[in-house]
Structure 1
């Protein structure tokens, strides 16, 4: 998995500090070179890697440092802070409230694993004794409702959808209202996968969001498309208020770092990562 591999390489680079008898510019530069190479190999955006390097260099000034300071610890701390900044926009994710209806709307590209992820999230809360359910407002993809039906039946999650209604706004509104009346706490709404060039589908997404007024909009991001995520993420963020991100298929490709760095475009926290059969 890309994250495990990246983690190992960064750990190895940081361990070079522990082995060095004297901490100087050469040791720092060598360590930063290893870390930057590991990030670039994982497809992290080159601009963000450059920023990380410059920010660590700006914090560590050997000429200004007092003799008694623990240089190793200061460098490790600076690197850690910069790595965290790559994926942490400093925004707290939406916290669902038990005992009240929490409406969660899913958006994302076609084929990003959105419908499967909806089921996984509903099941995650079901196992925590929340009343969770799923509304299929995807009228664009053939077989979308059948997939929801199959997933939810298997996981024993109540669901709502329609074979005859073609307006996703009507389906979403009806389903959300029905489940609210029935006292459901986690109401997850799946929408059609779309692409930033498909203006009509983007307008449809906005119409659904305006109709159901979700408490949280989750953007599902496919790790396998790497840095191409960034343009898509910006387009979605410009149209609706994305509150959090779930990255899927992170175990399936070396480009996972590209997806991680694209999260910066949404300014939204990652709440789950998907690795094939289960979320972590």
Structure 2
């Protein structure tokens, strides 16, 4: 998959350095050099790579760190933050509003996957309760309307187009007017692919914009475009002033860094990435989640959002997580749910540590791996499934029995339990942070200003010590808890906030397959 090798190389460089018994300046420079080489080979713009190098160097001064400092965490966080900065334009994309018509116009090069992506996005909003539709304003490419029509019928989405009208401006205007009258909330307009040297097509694009007055113009970029992405995106930005980017075909073998470089070139946020050919292969883009997933640390926020969109029964697991627990049965239930949510290799990447276990596998291999994990669970007793997993380290013969009963190896059983222990640690830390937040909230309500500031300071310090030595937790979620939105009064905590916290705590912990129980092999 695109960028997978990049993530593996960066993660390997950081891990090799932090595992070294002594952290020398020479070894630190070697790590930065390896990261920069990996980025340049992935077609990331050299200016961005140079900037990243300077950022990491300025963030970490090995000779100035106190003896007791956690150098591993400092280095990991510096690399994480620098990578996030590359893909973070610090701009917010347009957010469609329910109850009103939101017109979204697509532009981009021919062959970038606009028509397919239009349907994917319509399907994505449809699954979240929006009334969506499609307008085909591509009258240039033969078969464009037929393609959109077939996709729309498959996704059960209303569409508009014409086989006789050759003026795309008229088609776009009439289609948008029709769907606005019918009170559709998401109206997506597909346009012809064009190159920045085709002046007539660029002029046509501006005319369509003027006719439909889109709330958001989205540029679709092929992940394999390479260094040409910057020039193309600049030309489109100057003409159409698009407000968002969708990167397609990230499941290919191309480098992919060029498309990401377009973010820095145009200061425009990536809103989604296409991860395959199916209608469900579209992921919302978040800089922190993207880098976390890239480095094999999962994407808890993305996973939670996907789970909610699938209407899966998560109540038992959520109840356990709110109590700071994550049992073997919870792990099994989540794995079974993964099989319902799309390509397994993609879903596994959202679970901290499991992406590392799945690296290099195609969906068939990943499916087999997941099935073997379920076989392992099927060979457990009810007592073992409902345990916190520690029973296996206390009685290792249980693992031997389970391996024999499931037709797997003891190593596979250990890997599965190690991942469960990692998740259990995250859940426990989330519960502890929630309790600390509630305690701090009570302290800050009483006492003088000095006492309140001291309580706030202690709370901020505790938030920095998340599970796995991770990055800072989601501050928005923590502030909601401090303000009383964290499930006070004995009720169920805000699970969205809790899962955001868990994603933040996963930060740079590198919670790989051997993290939970000392990596016994």
| TM-score, normalising length: structure 1 | 0.95
Alpha-carbon offset, residue 145 of structure 1: 1.1
Does structure 1 residue 196 correspond to structure 2 residue 199?
A: no
Distance in 2 of aligned mates of 1:23 and 1:98: 53
CA contact (8 A) 1:223 1:253 kept: no
Alpha-carbon offset, residue 69 of structure 1: 3.1
- Counterpart of 1:45 in structure 2 is 45
SS in 1 for 2:246: strand
Alpha-carbon offset, residue 227 of structure 1: 1.4
Pick which of 36-45 and 187-196 moved more: 36-45
Distance in 2 of aligned mates of 1:114 and 1:48: 27
Distance in 2 of aligned mates of 1:193 and 1:22: 54
Distance in 1 of aligned mates of 2:154 and 2:78: 47
CA contact (8 A) 1:219 1:245 kept: yes
- Counterpart of 1:237 in structure 2 is 237
1:237-256 alignment, distance < 5 Å: 237-256=237-256
Does structure 1 residue 70 correspond to structure 2 residue 70?
A: yes
Does structure 1 residue 279 correspond to structure 2 residue 282?
A: yes
CA contact (8 A) 1:227 1:262 kept: no
Does structure 1 residue 260 correspond to structure 2 residue 222?
A: no
Q: What are structure 1's unaligned runs of at least 5 residues?
A: none
Distance in 1 of aligned mates of 2:255 and 2:7: 14
CA contact (8 A) 1:242 1:266 kept: no
Provide the aligned length of Structure 1 versus Structure 2: 280
Q: What are structure 2's unaligned runs of at least 5 residues?
A: 284-521
Distance in 2 of aligned mates of 1:262 and 1:55: 20
Distance in 2 of aligned mates of 1:48 and 1:36: 10
1:50-65 alignment, distance < 5 Å: 50-65=50-65
SS in 1 for 2:267: coil
- Counterpart of 2:134 in structure 1 is 134
CA contact (8 A) 1:246 1:272 kept: yes
Larger helix fraction of residues: 2
CA contact (8 A) 2:3 2:255 kept: no
- Counterpart of 2:125 in structure 1 is 125
SS in 2 for 1:2: coil
1:28-68: CA deviations, max 9, x gaps? Answer: 11211221122122221222112111221122223444444
Distance in 2 of aligned mates of 1:54 and 1:170: 51
- Counterpart of 1:185 in structure 2 is 185
CA contact (8 A) 1:106 1:190 kept: yes
| TM-score, normalising length: structure 2 | 0.52
SS in 1 for 2:150: helix
CA radius of gyration, larger in: 2
SS in 2 for 1:195: coil
1:89-140: CA deviations, max 9, x gaps? Answer: 0111211111111100000001110011101111111222211000011111
Alpha-carbon offset, residue 23 of structure 1: 2.1
Alpha-carbon offset, residue 24 of structure 1: 2.5
CA contact (8 A) 2:226 2:259 kept: yes
Distance in 1 of aligned mates of 2:276 and 2:245: 17
